[in-house]
Every structure is written in C-alpha cells, then in structure tokens.
Structure 1
Amino acid sequence: MSEAPHGAPIKTPGQLIAAVIAGFAIPVIVIALLAYYVDNSTRTGAGTDELSDAAVAQRIAPIAQLNLRAANAPHVYKTGEQVYQAVCSACHAAGAAGAPKFGNSGDWGPRISQGFDTLWHNALNGKNAMPPRGGTSPDDYSDYEIGLAVAYMANHGGAQFQDPPKPAAGAQGASAAAGASGTATAAAASGADASAAGAQAAAAMAALASAPQAATPAAGATQSADASQAGKALYQQVCQACHAAGVLNAPKFGDKEAWAPRLKDPMDVVYNYALHGKGAMPPKGGSNASDADVKAAVDYMVSAAK
C-alpha cells in the first residue's frame, strides 16, 4: 500500500508572506516585552540610592533609642492638646464608655458646673469607667499636665477655665518622688476606696503591703491578705486599662453577665488565658508580673463578678 505524498504547509503566496512577517515580528515583540520588564523591575544597583550610606543605616538602625538629658535640666511640659491627643482622645474623641465627647457642650455642661478642681481630681483618681490618669503613670504625665488636658477639653466644651498653676522649679522631682511612694494627697481625701482606685500606677507594686483589701476572695478559694492586695494592685496598674471599661471585648470589672461565660470554665483555664493571652489580650496583660500575682489579679476580678 503506497503512502500519500506530504504536502507543503505553505501553498499560496499570501501564506508565504504571512509566515515571513511572523518570523520577524514575533521575536521583535518578545524582545521588546523582555526589555520593558527589565527596565521596570526594582533595581538595587547603579541609578538607585538603596545602597547609599543613609539608606543602609536606616535599615539596620536599632529599634530602641536612648535619649539622654541632664538630670538638672528644666522639665519640658506637654501641652493640654498634646496630652489629650496622646491619652484622652482614645475615649473622649468618640465619647466611648460614657466619656463626655470632645467639643460636645451638652456632654460637658454638667461636668463644667462641678468646677475645674473636681474635674481635675476625677481625672487624677479615676471615675466610673475612666481609670486614674487615663491609665498612665506619674512618670508619663505629671499632675500639672493632666490638669492642662482637663482644661483643654473642658474649654472646648464651653468652659472658660484657666490653666492650673505651673509647678515651681524643682517641684517636678518632688512630685515624682511622692508618686513613687504612693502618697497622693488627692487620693487620700476621697476615702479608702477612692484612695486605692487613685493609687499611682508606678507605685502600685511597691505599696502592696499597705494597699487596702477591697474584695472578698472567691468562694472555695483561700487567698492570703498579701495575695489579695497583690491582685488588686496589679489590676489597678495593668488590667483596668481594658477591664474597667470593657475595651476590646474584655469582660468589664464587676459585670456578672460579662464574666458568666468565662467562669463556666475551670479556674485553671481562666488562669491560663491570663498568663498566656487570649484574643486581643497579651500574655499577663503585657506586664512582667509573676504568675502568682497574675492569678491573684484574676481572683480579684472574679470575686468582684460573683
């Protein structure tokens, strides 16, 4: 059986012309696309500054920075607006957790009628969902700077308060020392509970031996007085930043309904969440407290929710 002869793929002059054009055009298009890709890719050689001394120094710079200043240098206070933006705006900008909204005269009117001294005292010692000093410590912002922030917010709500008197030279160091020892006179004036609520965060752990016990231990638990005081101090220093107002879905302090689903688990499970973190809560609330103190803080909050 004979095989059929093979036919040529190009049979007409038109097909020949098309083949010749394709033979030249396709390689030219491929070369043009490759050149375009190479020209638009990220280059780290000549013609860029990514290997310059400044760029390299910026990439390898350490994260932590140390700023030194003379111990006797005059203290530079933050303005009321700066303190508001850094601390207070988290709640007051939107009126979260019942905070009077910034610039809302209706919210601020009843507060303004109480007078500046009362508002300043509440800001320093905390009230309702607002933690003392907005959750900061005297090392972060002085009483004077907190007062500036109070006047700044109140004046934008319709008040005409004067800024508090600026501390005399050297008073800042004395104020910090008083804060470290936990002897704030404003807190003492409001009684035992307000005093504990207004204990300065930086001195909370140093004042464990004298901190009052304000909660009854959970049923079936055997808390020593020292453990109860340590739990309360750690709560005031760390935990209340979220649990006082229920921030980020944290069960609010004293809210039985919010705590009920958590307390269905054994206490060992609840302790494990506090020690190792859960959801938005970092391990140990982001502190360096001991495991025993963290468990004591959990017991303190649980006892308040029963």
Structure 2
Amino acid sequence: MSDAHNEHQSLIRTPKQLVVAVTGFFLVIVIGIILLVSFVTTAPVTGAGTDGQSAEAVTNRMRPVAEEGFTLVDANAPRVLQAGAAVYAATCAACHDSGMAGAPKTGDNGSWGARLAQGYDTVLKHAIEGIRAMPAKGGNPDLDDIEVARAVVFMTNKSGASFKEPEVPAPAAGNAPGDAAATGETQAADQAGAEPKAG
C-alpha cells in the first residue's frame, strides 16, 4: 500500500491526451513567435542615411561654407598690422613664457642682458631670420616684418630694454591711389608747359 501511494501519477494518461498536450505546446510557441515578429516589425525602422535624399538633407549639404562659422578674408583688402602684444600672445609666448628650447624668458632681465647688449637691429634680425632653435618669424611666415618688430619691442621692453615702437613705413610713391592721380596731373602740366617752349 505504501508503494501505491508513493508512485507519481502523470497528468497524461492516454495517447489522446499526449497528442493534445504536444499540439498545445507547439501552438503556444508558434503564437509567441508570431506576436514577437509583429511587435518588432510594426515600428518604423530606418537605417542611417535613409533620409539622405530628402529636401532638408540636400539643402543642408548645399549650404554655403561661409554659414559654418568660417570667417572669409578678402585677399585684396589692405592688411591690418597686429600690435606687438597680439603677435607675442599668438606666436612668441609659447616659447618665451616658459623658456622652452633655450628661449630667453620674457621678464627675465638676466637672460636678456647679453642679447640686448647686441642692439635692437641684431635682436630684430634674429627674430626675422631665426637663430638656433627659433625658426624665422617665430614659425609664423604670415607675419609682416613690422609685426615681428613690434613683438620684439614688446618682449624686450618687458625684459629690461627701452626700445622705441617701430613706425610703419609710408607706401611707395606710385602705390597710393591719390599719388597716381597727382602723377598724371604733373605729367600733363609738364607736357603743357613743354609745348609752348617747342613752338
């Protein structure tokens, strides 16, 4: 009697119940797969670049470069020379603030003493042409010689010198627009004066 009570009894007792259980199991699996597929495919799925031909995307690609924050400079405009402090901050400070590669530190009168004793012209020549580890114009070839001279004066005056700020040279006689008109008037007056003498 104890053996009969301890036996485990199965829920499926007939072959018909086995067929119904297996069919039900497969039916639940199939319905689950169908629901999962319909859930995944109902949301609109777009890959990267699918809207590449939309009007907005084309307009964004064709927008002028100037609208991207670039500053366009007129190459024919007159050049505006920078002040010595601005040139120093942009070009010279990288080495002369820290003394990198043997550069004399700005404000250190001892390291500048021997250089300043050579005179302004020599210091300026070394700044423009370069010397030892320092490249010409501090590595910025776009600088004008006057801008380099202003930076030299700014830097050396902070280091014990008392150099005068360089003056911008006047433009050549034939380069200014007013000069061309004056030259034409002078030539016309000379020709008019020369004609009576010939007659």
**Is 1:107 aligned to 2:107, yes or no?**
no
Match of 1:157 in 2: 159
2:73 pairs with 47, 64, 67, which one? Answer: 67
**Is 1:166 aligned to 2:172, yes or no?**
no
1:116 pairs with 103, 111, 120, which one? Answer: 120
**Is 1:129 aligned to 2:133, yes or no?**
yes
1:167 positional shift: 1.7
Structure 1: 5+ residue stretches without partners: 1-59, 174-306
How big is each residue's C-alpha offset from its partner over 1:213-259, in whole Å with a ceiling of 9 and x where there is no partner? xxxxxxxxxxxxxxxxxxxxxxxxxxxxxxxxxxxxxxxxxxxxxxx
**Corresponding letter in the other structure for 1:116:** Y
1:149 positional shift: 0.5
Q: Which structure is higher in RCO with an 8 Å CA cutoff and minimum separation 6?
A: 2
Which protein is bigger by CA-based radius of gyration?
A: 2
TM-score normalised by structure 2 residue count: 0.51
Match of 1:289 in 2: none
* Whole-Å separation in 1 of the counterparts to 2:114 and 2:102: 13
DSSP 3-state at the match of 1:101:
coil
How big is each residue's C-alpha offset from its partner over 1:93-152, in whole Å with a ceiling of 9 and x where there is no partner? 101000000111111111111100000000011111001111111xx2111110110111
Match of 1:9 in 2: none
Do the aligned partners of residues 65 and 132 (structure 1) sit closer, same or farther apart at CA in structure 2, a change above 3 Å counting?
same
Do the aligned partners of residues 117 and 127 (structure 1) sit closer, same or farther apart at CA in structure 2, a change above 3 Å counting?
same
TM-score normalised by structure 1 residue count: 0.34
1:66 positional shift: 1.2
* Whole-Å separation in 1 of the counterparts to 2:162 and 2:71: 40
1:154 positional shift: 0.4
CA contact under 8 A between 1:126 and 1:133: conserved in structure 2? yes
DSSP 3-state at the match of 1:162:
coil
Structure 2: 5+ residue stretches without partners: 1-65, 176-199
Do the aligned partners of residues 97 and 79 (structure 1) sit closer, same or farther apart at CA in structure 2, a change above 3 Å counting?
same
Match of 2:42 in 1: none
* Whole-Å separation in 1 of the counterparts to 2:122 and 2:84: 17
1:170 positional shift: 4.9
**Corresponding letter in the other structure for 1:94:** S
Match of 1:92 in 2: 96
DSSP 3-state at the match of 2:156:
helix
1:68 positional shift: 2.8
CA contact under 8 A between 1:74 and 1:169: conserved in structure 2? no
* Whole-Å separation in 2 of the counterparts to 1:161 and 1:97: 25
**Corresponding letter in the other structure for 2:80:** V
Using the aligned pairs only, state the percent identity: 44
Match of 1:144 in 2: 146
- State the Cα RMSD in Å: 2.7
DSSP 3-state at the match of 1:127:
coil
1:63 positional shift: 4.5
Aligned positions of 1:260-279 closer than 5 A: none
Aligned length: 113
Match of 1:32 in 2: none
